[in-house]
Structure 1
C-alpha cells in the first residue's frame, strides 16, 4: 500500500512538472546533464541526442522537440526557455535525425536540382554552380538540402529522381515539354534563368537591361558603330538569347544609332562575325558570353587587331577568366547571389505553402568596367 501511494505521488509530481512546462514554458529543474557526459559531447567524442539537449537546458525532451520543429499549436514557450534550448543545441552541436524527422513531418527536406549542364570537359557551367552553392548554404538555415540527381543523364536533364522530394530547382528550363514534365510531377519548384509554368516561379536576369547598360557605356565613350555578336549554340531557345539581342536593338534605337548587320545572326565561326564587323567599320563589339569574348581575343591577336585600341570589347558574364585576360574584359555581371537568395526564398515559401502570386522575378545585372573598352580612335 505504501509503495502504491509513493508511486502515485511520484507520478503526480511528474505529471505536474510536464503540465506546468506545457502551459507556461517555465524551466523546472536546472541542468541535469552530468559533467562527464557534457565533456564527452563538447569534445565531439559522442553524438548529442535530444535527451542530452533536454537535460542541459532543463526541460523535457518533448519541449525541445517542439521548440526545434516550430510547433505552436496548443503550445507556448517563454523566450528564456527557447533561448536555453537553442543555446544547448549550439553548445552540444546537436543535429536532428533527418530520417526520423521526415517520417514525423511527412517531408524529406530534399530539393532536387534539375538541368545542371556540363561542358565538353565535364565541368559544370560556372554561374550555375555559383547559384547552387549559394542556395545550398542558405537553404540549410531552413533545414533543406539540395540534391543533384544523375540517374536520367543528359537525355532527361529535367527528370525528377525516383525517391520523394519536397521540391525542385530547375536551371535553364527552356523547352515547353520540360516545363510540363515538372508541372505534372506536382512538386513546388523554382526555375532559375528559365521558364516556369503555373505551379512554379521563374527567377531571371534582366538581360535586356544588361544590353542597355553595355550600349549606354559604349555610347558614353563615343562609339556609334557597335556590333552585337551571338554564337550558334545548342541552347538557342534560352530566354537570354532573344532578350540580349532585343535589348541591343532597343538601346541602339534609343540612341538613334544604326543596327549592325551581325545583330540578328548566329555564327558557327565567331571569326567570321568579327571580320564582318570590322568590314562595316565597327569600333566596338558586344558579345553574348565570356566564351565568345575569349574567341574574339584569340582571333584579334592572330590578325593583329588591337583590343581596345582598334576595337572595344564587352561581354556578358563576369566569369573567369575575364579578369585575367589581356586586356581585362569589361563585362555585364549576372547577380548570382541575389538570384540564389530570391530562389531560396521562393522555393521555401512554396514548400511551406505560404500564400503568394508571384510568377516571375527579374534581377538587375551590373556593369563591370575594365580595360577592354575605351573611346574610339580619333576622339
Structure 2
C-alpha cells in the first residue's frame, strides 16, 4: 500500500506539500498540485483517515440513530440527511435501533468511540434513560428529529404532529364526515397522543368528540393498519372515514378494504399521514399529510454543521410545517 512518502517521492515534492495539497491547508503552485494529484492517482493512494482525525480532532463523519430505516418515512428522511451530508464532504454512519434501549445504548457508545463529529437522532420518542445517556455525550453536537419535546443539550426539530392531525381531521369534516375512526400508533407514544389531540381539536370546532371505541391502536406498520381495518369493517355501525396516523398503516387499511370488497372512497374514505413516496401509487392514490422529509433531513444537518463549527451556540427547537395533500382516497360520504 502506497504511503505519503511514496507520493512525495513520485511527485518530486516534500511530504508537507503533499499534505497541504490533500488537506487544502495552504496554497500550493499549480504545477506541484498537478504532480501530487497525478502521483496520488497513479499510486492509488488513500490517506490514513484515522491518523488524520487524531491529528486534527475531526473525522468528517456523522452518526445517525434511526428507529427503523425500513419505514418509508424514516428512509426518505435518511436520504435527505445523507445527500446533504455528502454534499458537505461528510460520511454518515447509519444505526437502526428498532426503538430498543440496548441497541440505542450500544450504537451511541460505538459512535462515540468512532469519534463522530456530530450525532443525529431520529425517533418518535426518547425515554429518560436514553436522554440521560445522550446528555452524557453532550460534548458532541447533537440534533434530534421528529420528536415532540425540547432539550437542554441538543437541537430539536419537532414534527408539529398536533397541527398535522388537525389538518387531516378538519379536511375529513369539511368533506362531510362526522363518523371518523382513527388507526393510531402506540398509545403510550407522545407523537400518537399529539395526533389524537389534533383530531380532537378539529372535532371540537363542530362540538363533536372522538369516542374511545373509534381509536384502534396500531404500531405505525402496515400489518397493524390491515388488522385495525378488519376490526373497523366488522363494526355494527361502520364509520364513513378512517384516519391512519401514517401512510404504511393507511396502505394496510386500503388493502384490507379492497379484500373485503369495500370501495375507497365510494364506500369508505381513508386518510394517511407523512406523504411517503409510495402514497402517490396506491389504488386509489392516498390523500395524506405532507411531512417535509428532505427539508427535515437537510435542516437537521445544517443545524448540526453549525454546532460543529461553533460548539458554544445555544440549543434551539424548530418546528416543521405539515401540509394537506389531496388525492383520491377521500370523498364525501354517501347519504
CA distance in 2, matches of 1:266, 1:81: 69
Shift, 1:286, TM fit: 1.5
Unaligned runs of 5+ in 1: 1-45, 119-123
Computed over aligned residues only, the root mean square deviation of the Cα atoms, in angstroms, reads 3.9
The structure 2 residue matched to 1:205, chosen from 159, 176, 179, is 159
The answer to whether structure 1 residue 216 and structure 2 residue 174 are counterparts is no
For 1:138, the equivalent position in structure 2 comes to 84
* Runs of 4+ off more than 6 Å: 46-53, 92-95, 150-153
Query: CA 1:274–1:244 in structure 2 vs 1: closer, same or farther (change >3 Å)?
Result: farther
Kept after mapping to 1: 8 A contact 2:244/2:271: yes
CA distance in 1, matches of 2:241, 2:5: 64
TM-score (normalizing by structure 1)? 0.68
Matched positions, count = 313
For 2:224, the equivalent position in structure 1 comes to none
Query: CA 1:377–1:273 in structure 2 vs 1: closer, same or farther (change >3 Å)?
Result: closer
Query: CA 1:50–1:311 in structure 2 vs 1: closer, same or farther (change >3 Å)?
Result: farther
Unaligned runs of 5+ in 2: 219-226
Residue by residue over 1:71-106, the C-alpha shift from the partner in whole angstroms, topping out at 9 and shown as x without a partner, is 6xxx8x7xx989x979x979x889765234312211
CA distance in 2, matches of 1:85, 1:226: 71
The answer to whether structure 1 residue 312 and structure 2 residue 269 are counterparts is yes
1:115-194 to 2 correspondences below 5 Å: 115-117=66-68, 124-149=70-95, 154=100, 156-159=102-105, 160-162=108-110, 163-166=113-116, 167-172=118-123, 173-186=125-138, 187-194=140-147
TM-score (normalizing by structure 2)? 0.75
Partner SS state of residue 279, structure 1: coil
Greater RCO, CA 8 A, separation 6+: 2
Query: CA 1:152–1:171 in structure 2 vs 1: closer, same or farther (change >3 Å)?
Result: closer
Kept after mapping to 1: 8 A contact 2:247/2:275: yes
Shift, 1:312, TM fit: 1.5
For 2:50, the equivalent position in structure 1 comes to 99
Query: CA 1:114–1:232 in structure 2 vs 1: closer, same or farther (change >3 Å)?
Result: closer
CA distance in 1, matches of 2:33, 2:320: 39
CA distance in 2, matches of 1:85, 1:332: 52
